[in-house]
Chains A and B, each alone.
Chain A
Amino acid sequence: MPEQLTAPLVVSFPFTRSLGPVQSAFLTGLRERVVLGVRAHDGRVLVPPAEYDPTTAEEIHELVEVGTTGTVTTWAWNPAPRPNQPLATPFAWVLVRLDGADTALLHALDAPGPEAVRTGARVRVRWAEQRTGAITDIACFEPHDGPETGHATPHHGTFTDPVTSLTAPARLDYTYTPGRAQTRHLGNLARHLLTGERCPSCRKVHVPPRGACPTCGVAATEQVVVGPRGTVTTFCVVNIKARNLAIDVPYVYAHIALDGADLALHGRIAGIPYDQVRMGLRVEPVWRDGDRHPDHYRPTGEPDADYDTYKRLL
């Protein structure tokens, strides 16, 4: 069994979302240290507010201001906060029904320990110092000593410079593992050996191998050495420089049918002016010092391959 290849894979995506009028008023309100809810058709006050009635699906827009104090409806003690969560020290997740609201808001409660938290506990908003119009403008909740006071009062919901969109950055870290077939293939490439897999059913040799014949849907396990020489079956001229890629444009990217392979792989063609690359050109891989895979393919100097020898691979 060859060494198990792994690679870090970071997926980072800052989604920008436009907000509806109710969401916009709510998040702008948080920036101004005001908590707004919306009244549903059945009279209930929803906090956080929805754009549409949960029962009738009609648009709702009757905004009300509720209290910044509330009551815990359920809680969970989080002894080991994870990155990005509201507090870095152990805290309680809480659903809080703010005074004047009929539904509960999820947030964190800063409390010394689980013994200090219970359902029914009174809490109040602790505002973040820097507020931008986001749910995190509430830094967290904190214990509060006081009876339920607030009731919902009508609110115009208009503010200067309202927040109309939300940028939600997210980053997830993965460990990519290529699997058995690709690991073997990459290991062989590092030893300057090009390999494919033969399908036990249709006998075709697939390069690069993926563990299965995509046509027959069966596991392909027979290793076959292919190339190293091959034929350009088709190509394109790249004229736009890629970011973080130290390759001058224009250059040629080609489908290459390695000798003995039944599927063309792709690679960059160099060692020949870009406008002289052609279908049928015979090429071979070039490894630079220390490379784990071919850097590019260059002409072998052989006569061009006859069209009939590679047309089924187009």
Chain B
Amino acid sequence: MTPRPRDVAVVAFAQSDHRRATPGLSETELLLPVLREVLDRAGLAPGEADFTCSGSSDYLAGRPFSFTLTLDGVGAWPPIAESHVEMDGAWALYEAWVKILTGEADTALVYAHGKSSAGDVRDVLTRQLDPCYLAPLWPDSVSLAALQAQALIDAGETDEDDLAAIAARNRAAATHNPHAQLRGAVPHGDYVVRPLRTGDCPPVSDGAAAVVLAAGERARRMCRRPAWIRGIDHRIEPHDPGRRDLTDSPSTRLAAERAGAFDAPVDTAELHAPFTAQEVILRKALRLTGDVRVNPSGGALAAHPLMAAGLVRIGEAAARIHRGESHRALAHATSGPCLQQNLVAVLEAELEGEPE
């Protein structure tokens, strides 16, 4: 008989205000208040979490091993158990979740940050592409997303008016989110790369986020209404966009299946869709129907701190459960061009068979 896996929950979430630039702040200074807030919420002192895991990218800062400096903010002496992923913090959370499931830790601090303002993010992101066939052409992130959007329009699954409506709905939702960067009505603007207009694209954001995870009784002591992780899975597709069906996201669908997303309906979904057309694809892959609240935070179209935006989705979904505004929520994070890699997490207010 397989032993019952441990129950692990998101017990606290904090994020910075996400802004176009934070020239007065180092990455550590950007993170410090966020770490302080999330640890206070969980009742942990710096350095007290059993495991610490972060997500960030040296390419955003332009400096090798830039993440080591942010360790100044976590109280890393005496030495702590620590790890880092050169990815969105959602993948750091996955590592921390697995660490707790193994029983090697009961609590974990997960954080992520990105200062996109240091470079030109459209150029920087070309460096993640295939070095032989793609990177020498410098296809920027908006151009690749535009190829995907056109494929979706050609397939008859959306049109430019639909896309504009997606942008407007996300940013209208963001009026209730003080951390968001683009809130309320934002002009849909000119084509950046046709068919995508400025309104279809995410803002360029500096920002940070942090989450505390805890197991079982620890979680219940730290949080009145823990957001229990029912499952997380992540899947990746080929890096060559010409080998993929850009109008679909089989990796999201598979991750959702494996995370248990289709076992019961969700009431809330936080989707990491930096470009409007990607929300259409994700809604289809995740079978989200009209009664699911999608991106009540405003999503990535309202604030897009690279490397933190996926972790923010998990944090926002969990915070809704903490506040009693959601019973079962789905959070999604993406990485790579055109939704290449996708992570799905399912969070619930109480455990199976437990009365609310």
Listed in ascending order, the chain A residues whose CB lies under 8 Å from chain B are: 1, 4, 6, 9, 11, 15, 17, 19, 23, 27, 46, 48, 50, 54, 73-79, 82-86, 93, 95, 97, 103-108, 114, 119, 134-136, 166, 168, 170, 172-183, 210-219
Instruction: State how many angstroms separate the Cβ of A71 from the closest Cβ of chain B.
Output: 12
Contact at A77–B193, with CB atoms within 8 Å?
A: yes
A48 CB contacts on chain B under 8 angstroms:
132-133, 240, 242
What are the 3 A-B residue pairs with the smallest beta carbon separation, nearest first? Answer: A179-B26, A217-B75, A217-B46
A97–B241 alpha-carbon span in the complex (Å): 12
Instruction: Specify which of A15, A27, A218 is in contact with B75 (CB 8 Å cutoff).
Output: A218
A46 CA / B243 CA spacing, docked (Å)? 8
B110 close to A (CB within 8 Å): no
Q: In whole angstroms, how far apart are the Cα atoms of A82 and B120 in the complex? A: 11
- Does B62 belong to the interface (CB within 8 Å)? yes
**What 5 new A-B contacts, CB under 8 Å, besides A48-B240, A79-B194?**
A82-B122, A180-B25, A212-B28, A212-B73, A214-B71
Q: Check B43 for interface membership: any CB of A closer than 8 A.
A: no
Question: Would B136 and A174 count as touching, CB distance under 8 A?
Answer: no
Using Cβ atoms and an 8 Å threshold, which residues of chain B touch A173? 119-120
Interface residues on B, range: 35 or more
- Taking the nearest CB of chain B, how far is it from the CB of A123, in angstroms? 14
| Contact status A17-B132, CB under 8 Å | yes
Tell me which of B28, B118, B131, B140 contacts A177 (CB under 8 A).
Answer: B118
Is B137 engaged at the interface, CB distance under 8 Å to the other chain?
yes
| Chain B interface (Cβ < 8 Å from any Cβ of A) | 23-29, 32-33, 35-36, 46-47, 59, 61-63, 69, 71-77, 117-120, 122-124, 127, 131-140, 143-144, 146-151, 154, 191, 193-196, 238, 240-243, 246
Could you say which residues of chain B place their CB within 8 Å of the CB of A23?
132
Residue of A nearest to B21 (CB): A177
Complex interface: chain B residues within 8 A of A172 (CB)? 59, 62, 119-120, 123-124, 127
A residues less than 8 Å from B194 (CB atoms)? 76-77, 79, 114
Instruction: Give complex CA distance A210, B28 in Å.
Output: 8
Residues of A within 8 A of B59 (CB): 172
Query: Complex formed: what's the CA distance from A166 to B62 in Å?
Result: 23
Q: Closest chain A residue to B244 by CB distance?
A: A103
Across-interface contacts of A15 in B (CB, < 8 A): 131
Closest to A74 in B: B151
B132 touches A218 (CB 8 A): no
Q: How far is the CA of A215 from the CA of B24 in the complex (A)?
A: 23
Provide the residues of chain A in CB contact with B118, threshold 8 Å: 9, 174-177
Contacts A76-B195, A217-B35 known; A177 to B24 CB distance under 8 Å? yes
CB proximity of B142 to chain A, nearest CB, Å: 9
Q: Are A77 and B191 in contact (CB under 8 A)?
A: yes
Q: Are B143 and A76 in contact (CB under 8 A)?
A: yes
A95-B147, A210-B72 as given contacts; A78 in contact with B35, CB under 8 Å: no
Q: Shortest distance in angstroms between B21's beta carbon and chain A's nearest beta carbon?
A: 9
Closest residue of chain B to A177, judged by CB?
A: B23
**B13 CB to nearest chain A CB (Å):** 19
Q: Count A-B pairs with CB separation below 8 Å.
A: 189
Q: How far is the CA of A175 from the CA of B32 in the complex (A)?
A: 22
Q: Is the interface of A mostly helix, strand, loop or mixed?
A: mixed
Contacts of B24 in A (CB 8 A): 1, 4, 177, 179-180, 183
Q: Decide: B133 and A119 in contact? CB cutoff 8 A.
A: no
Cα A108 to Cα B62 in complex, Å, equals 28
Q: Which residue of A lies closest to B27 (CB)?
A: A179
Q: Which residues of A contact B26 (CB under 8 A)?
A: 177-182, 210-211
A212 touches B32 (CB 8 A): yes
Partner of A84, one of B28, B138, B195: B138
* Known contacts A106-B134, A170-B135, A173-B120; is-contact A74 B150 (Cβ 8 Å): yes
Q: Would A119 and B150 be within 8 Å (CB), given that A217-B47, A217-B72 are in contact?
A: yes
Q: A95-B147, A175-B118 are in contact. Are A106 and B62 (CB under 8 A)?
A: no
Q: Are B75 and A179 in contact (CB under 8 A)?
A: no
Chain A neighbourhood of B143, CB < 8 A: 76, 78, 93
Which residues of the partner chain A approach B28 to less than 8 Å between Cβ atoms? 179, 210-212
Is A219's CB under 8 angstroms from B36's CB?
Answer: yes
| Closest A residue by C-beta to B52 | A217
Contact A136 B243, beta carbon cutoff 8 Å: no
Question: By the criterion CB–CB under 8 Å, are A135 and B133 in contact?
Answer: yes
Contact of A79 among B124, B136, B191, B240 (CB under 8 A): B191
Interface pairs (9), CB distance under 8 Å:
A1-B24, A73-B242, A79-B193, A103-B240, A119-B151, A170-B127, A175-B119, A177-B23, A179-B26
Residues from chain A with a CB closer than 8 A to the CB of B127 are: 170, 172
> In the complex, A107 Cα to B147 Cα: how many Å?
11
In the complex, the answer to whether A54 meets B191 with C-beta atoms within 8 Å is: no
Once bound together, how far apart are the Cα atoms of A212 and B30, in whole Å?
11
How many Å from the CB of B60 to the closest CB on chain A?
9
Q: With the chains together, A6 CA to B24 CA distance in Å? A: 10
Q: What separation, in Å, do the CA atoms of A93 and B71 have in the docked complex? A: 41
Contacts of B134 in A (CB 8 A): 106, 135
Q: How far is the CB of B96 from chain A (nearest CB, A)?
A: 17
Are B119 and A174 closer than 8 Å at their CB atoms?
yes
A97 to B71, CA, bound (A): 48
Complexed CA–CA distance, A132 and B279 (Å)? 41
Report whether A214 and B32 are in contact in the complex, using a CB–CB cutoff of 8 Å: no
Measured in the bound complex, the distance between the Cα atoms of B135 and A93 in whole Å is: 14
* B-side contacts of A11, CB under 8 Å: 62
- What chain A residues lie within 8 Å of B139 (beta carbons)? 85, 93, 106
